[in-house]
Structure 1
Amino acid sequence: MIKHLEVEELAFLKPEIYYNLTRFGSVLDGGYVLPYNSVVEADFLLSGGVSLNSDFENALTIINSNLQVILVDGRISIIKFFILRPFYKLLKNMDFFPFVQSYYFFKIYKKSTFIKKYIGSSFSIKEMLASLNNVEAAKTGILKLDIEGSEYDILDDIVAHKEKFNAIIMEFHYIKDKLILLKEFTSNLNFKIVNVSVNEVGVDENSFPHILEITFLNPTYNFNSADFVGQNRNNIQGRDLFLLDFA
């Protein structure tokens, strides 16, 4: 059952209608909505906060095999999470799914640059861009961030380098407490908001979302909306548990 939400304080996030949106990755957490052509035309993907789910990153490289991928996650120990953990889960619970996660992680890992750092004051967007093989040749790309609240530490950094991205997907945590920062960021970024999804962790007692996943589109890029694939997640046909209704 989809629960519809009307939250007046979030009216500033009302998405523009855009018909070229596709969901890449998992059905729920670990999947994100992007313009299809933004993937086709991108030179690189900067992915911060990979964790155990690499479905999104793998999906993008299927669409664009030339995509240069930078994976950044300070929490991940490859040996612990993707080698030892599957065998532990198998022996304890007869759970084979961690082996699937490991397979897909190593599938993207072998064609990517993996950096074990926490994005924020110790590792910036500028440094992520500098990790590309040829920064000048990599003219435009996609930024995806799911960094558990640390996104608020680098908002100015993102704005400073926004011209490098044709699309930005970010997961924003602690929405109610960080509402002013989110408003300031969307204003300073000045990108088109084309999708807003409520993360399935849900809402508080006042039906205010805890986490939002937002897709921003660079207004300087004129993507061809004729190549429609998939479905905008922020509507009744999507797989959401919660939907924000905008007037």
Structure 2
Amino acid sequence: MRARLPNFFSIKQATDLVRIGRDYDGGYLVSQSDIEKSDLLIGLGICDDWSFEEDFVRRNDVEVVAYDASVNFRFWLKRVIVGTIKNPFNLYAFRKFLSYRQFFRGKHEHIKKFVGLNSLGNIHCTFADVLNETNSKNIFLKIDIEGSEYRFLHDIVANEERITGMVIELHDVDIHLNKIEQFINQFSLNLVHIHANNYAPIRADDDLPIVLELTFSKYSDVSADHKLPHKLDMPNNKNCSDYEISLND
């Protein structure tokens, strides 16, 4: 299926893209150069998939800080109990919990907070709060937080000198196009890859994909030649074909 984007999404494709994370949903294309230049990976949003973080540290054994308040004791208790009731011989949920405990220890930290909202509660924090917790000036960002990303795009721009690369999932693109355009124009890192999430629909009147995965790079060599999807891309929904993206003139 074909999708179209406004021309402000014009990309300079990185020549050293690698796929990080699991196959299909949860994997992203990023620049190998940015991975190598990073000394900290900050992941905003993990749910039950930290394959991106695992792959990243296999390539560069950096400190990892992941933020997600939805993953807590009740989350795992429910997963294990429901999985056992459905099939007592299926140990998937329990193995997943063990994988979580094995990865998030030592210099891999999981902070049980949602990022984006400046609230009175103790399960939210701002993006500024996240950055204030580290002195690193070589941060790679992975952001998939179901719409809260729009609350701090301006803070990403304000701290771009500390960011080596970023992959960000943008939700409800149709109602945030102006914010996205402003962000792309202001952010100094190159937009080096775009992938449309095929779990989300395409708007009928102009073929606009509603959820996008954007990759930005500081250190990669780039080329004006590109084809979307990239040969390393995979559809998020493996049962449907990937969206073929073109840009409006």
* Common fold: TM-score over 0.5: yes
Alpha-carbon shift at residue 113 of structure 1 (Å): 2.0
Alpha-carbon shift at residue 104 of structure 1 (Å): 3.2
1:33 to 23, 29, 36: 29
Query: Which ranges in structure 2 are unaligned for 5 or more consecutive residues?
Result: 119-124, 236-241
SS class of match (2:57): helix
Distance 2:27 2:210 in 1: 17
Q: Does 1:97 align with 2:98?
A: no
* Contact map agreement 2:13 2:191 (CA 8 A) in 1: no
Q: Deviations over 1:25-53 (max 9, x none)?
A: 02222111110121122100111011111
Residues 198 and 189 of structure 1: CA distance in aligned 2, closer, same or farther (over 3 Å): same
Alpha-carbon shift at residue 168 of structure 1 (Å): 1.1
Alpha-carbon shift at residue 97 of structure 1 (Å): 3.0
Q: Report what 1:234 is aligned to.
A: 229
1:147 to 136, 139, 145: 145
Identical positions, percent = 24
Q: Report what 2:173 is aligned to.
A: 175
Alpha-carbon shift at residue 88 of structure 1 (Å): 2.4
| Structure 2 residue identity aligned to 1:92 | K
Structure 1 length-normalised TM: 0.84
Distance 2:16 2:68 in 1: 30
Q: Report what 1:80 is aligned to.
A: 74
Q: How many residues align?
A: 228
Distance 1:203 1:85 in 2: 28
Q: Pairwise mapping of residues 65-214 of structure 1 onto structure 2 (< 5 A)?
A: 65=61, 67-77=62-72, 79-94=73-88, 95-111=90-106, 112-122=108-118, 123-132=125-134, 135=135, 138-206=136-204, 207-214=207-214
| Structure 2 residue identity aligned to 1:90 | T
SS class of match (1:204): coil
| Structure 1 residue identity aligned to 2:145 | I
CA RMSD of aligned residues (A): 2.2
* Contact map agreement 2:142 2:167 (CA 8 A) in 1: yes
Query: Which ranges in structure 1 are unaligned for 5 or more consecutive residues?
Result: 226-231
Residues 90 and 47 of structure 1: CA distance in aligned 2, closer, same or farther (over 3 Å): same
Alpha-carbon shift at residue 118 of structure 1 (Å): 1.4
Structure 2 length-normalised TM: 0.83
Distance 2:211 2:186 in 1: 21
